[in-house]
């Protein structure tokens, strides 16, 4: 069975050709699948302008397979909704729906599990189970729209998984949700976050020059970065920052560096100074993230005052930095924690 959500519009056009159908049927079907927020068709019967024999044929060979809501936690503080979605094969992934002044945003997962091994992250504890398909990534948006009845205008690929370790499906996913006949989400409203797989940064800049790029940096020197993020042994900071510079030159787009503050590990004044020296002059922005403590690890969060001091030190050195506002603090909204707690219940 084909999951139609895995296909781009031109791929559905090819399918129509194979079925001996006119090309415009593809746009009709695509339109039904992605209709208005929360109202996309899940069955072919709803597609009233598609001929009955084609609807029947489609039902024989394909599905519109949306992830199923297994669990929702809603924050009492800010309305953030955290979903645990079940996939066809029994795997589960997490997404977080957030309300901002500029619209609704969702953080989606790109893999079930992760093999990058970052030492502070819960998503990688059980290793990688498998890549998500394009339709399984897009389906998280559709299911959340269906559940809330609200349109989602911004997407961050910052949930479980390393998107550049699943590049083909990520790429398809971006094209599907960007399509005016699909969800019509602007390239500039999409952000992809990577732990720093250097060769893919160049490819991404070539393929998607308008999509925002975020890099998980988390350290100011190779020794401590390698201790936190094994990927740094393969792609050390020098190479990573060089790729980021080429990216900003080519795209004229600002790179966001994510820096999770871990008490006593990467939050000293010296760290701030080293980081500032590395980034000064680059078209970038540093997003400081207070660590979400993971019970399997004994890292501690940097306090509010120390985080502010770190930010000020960067700013004084000419590197723009903000401390990320925490949404959904009361619902374990971060980083693979819900998926894990459910896996261990089984
Ligand atoms: N693999 C990608 C995207 C998923 S992780 C990446 O590495 O960027 C999304 C972000 O959450 C990354 O910056 C990651 O380092 C950060 N993160 C992971 N665990 C965290 C934790 N316990 N507390 C705070 N941030 C965390």
Read off the pLDDT of residues 282-300 as tens digits, 9 standing for 90 and up: 999 999 998 988 888 889 9
Pocket test for ligand 1, best of 256, 327, 335 (most atoms within 8 A of CB): 335
Pocket test for ligand 1, best of 109, 158, 299, 338 (most atoms within 8 A of CB): 158
Predicted TM-score of the model (pTM)? 0.95
- Whether 284 is a known active-site residue: answer no
pLDDT of residue 38: 78
The CA distance from 295 to 227, in Å, is 19
* pLDDT at 83 > cutoff 90: yes
Question: Which of 38-52, 195-209, 232-246 is least confident?
Answer: 38-52
The CA distance from 179 to 152, in Å, is 14
The CA distance from 6 to 135, in Å, is 4
Kindly report the protein residue whose alpha carbon is nearest to atom 20 of ligand 1.
121
Question: Ligand 1 centre from 107 Cα, in Å?
Answer: 12
Kindly report the protein residue whose alpha carbon is nearest to atom 21 of ligand 1.
292
User: Does residue 9 have its Cβ closer than 6 Å to ligand 1?
Assistant: no
The CA distance from 193 to 49, in Å, is 40
pLDDT band at 324 (very low <50, low <70, confident <90, very high): confident
> In this structure, are residues 114 and 161 in contact, taking their beta carbons and an 8 Å threshold?
yes
* pLDDT at 333 > cutoff 70: no
User: Does residue 80 have its Cβ closer than 6 Å to ligand 1?
Assistant: no
pLDDT of residue 295: 80
| CATH number, domain 68-345, options 3.20.20.70, 3.40.50.10240, 3.40.47.10, 2.60.120.650 | 3.20.20.70
Q: For residue 245, what is the enclosing H or E element?
A: helix 237-251
Number of helices (H) and strands (E) in the chain: give both, helices first.
Answer: 12, 14
Helix (H, G, I), strand (E, B), or coil: what is residue 303? coil
The CA distance from 240 to 236, in Å, is 6
pLDDT of residue 35: 83
Q: Which residues contact 93 (CB under 8 A, 6 or more apart)?
A: 67, 84, 85, 87, 109, 112, 132, 136, 140, 159, 160, 339
Question: Ligand 1 centre from 84 Cα, in Å?
Answer: 18
- Whether 121 is a known active-site residue: answer no
> In this structure, are residues 164 and 124 in contact, taking their beta carbons and an 8 Å threshold?
no
The CA distance from 29 to 44, in Å, is 9
Helix (H, G, I), strand (E, B), or coil: what is residue 268? coil
pLDDT band at 344 (very low <50, low <70, confident <90, very high): very low
pLDDT of residue 336: 53
User: Does residue 50 have its Cβ closer than 6 Å to ligand 1?
Assistant: no
Q: Which fold has domain 2-63?
A: DNA polymerase; domain 1 (1.10.150)
Kindly report the protein residue whose alpha carbon is nearest to atom 19 of ligand 1.
121
pLDDT of residue 27: 94
Per-residue b/e over 15-45, b at no fewer than 16 CB within 10 Å?
bbeeeebeeebbebbbbbbbeebbebbeebe
Each domain of the chain, given as residue ranges in start order, spans 2-63, 68-345
Query: Active-site residue among 94, 136, 145, 162?
Result: 94
């Amino acid at each position: 069975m084909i999951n139609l959500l895995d296909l781009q519009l031109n791929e559905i056009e090819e399918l129509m050709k194979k079925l001996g159908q006119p090309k415009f049927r593809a746009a009709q079907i695509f339109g039904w699948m992605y209709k208005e927020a929360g109202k996309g068709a899940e069955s072919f019967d709803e597609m009233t302008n598609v001929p009955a024999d084609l609807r029947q044929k489609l039902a024989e060979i394909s599905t519109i397979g949306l992830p199923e809501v297994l669990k929702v936690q809603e924050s009492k503080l800010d309305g953030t909704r955290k979903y645990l979605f079940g996939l066809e094969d029994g795997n589960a992934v997490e997404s977080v729906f957030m309300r901002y002044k500029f619209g609704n945003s969702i953080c989606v997962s790109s893999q079930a599990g992760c093999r990058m091994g970052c030492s502070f992250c819960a998503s990688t504890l059980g290793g990688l189970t498998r890549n998500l398909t394009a339709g399984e990534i897009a389906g998280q948006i559709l299911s959340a729209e269906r559940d809330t009845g609200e349109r989602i205008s911004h997407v961050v690929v910052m949930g479980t998984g390393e998107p550049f370790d699943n590049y083909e499906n990520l790429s398809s996913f971006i094209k599907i949700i960007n399509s005016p006949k699909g969800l019509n989400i602007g390239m500039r409203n999409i952000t992809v976050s990577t732990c720093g797989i250097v060769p893919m940064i160049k490819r991404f800049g070539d393929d998607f020059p308008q999509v925002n790029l975020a890099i998980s940096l988390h350290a100011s020197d190779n020794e401590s970065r390698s201790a936190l993020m094994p990927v740094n042994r393969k792609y050390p900071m020098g190479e990573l920052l060089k790729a980021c510079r080429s990216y900003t030159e080519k795209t004229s787009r600002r790179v966001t560096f994510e820096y999770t503050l871990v008490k006593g590990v990467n939050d000293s004044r010296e760290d701030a100074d080293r980081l500032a020296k590395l980034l000064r002059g680059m078209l970038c922005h540093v997003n400081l993230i207070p660590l979400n403590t993971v019970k399997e690890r004994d890292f501690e969060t940097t306090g509010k005052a120390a985080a502010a001091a770190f930010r000020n030190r960067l700013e004084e050195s000419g590197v723009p930095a903000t401390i990320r506002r925490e949404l959904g603090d009361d619902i374990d909204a971060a980083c693979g924690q819900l998926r894990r707690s459910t896996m261990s219940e089984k």
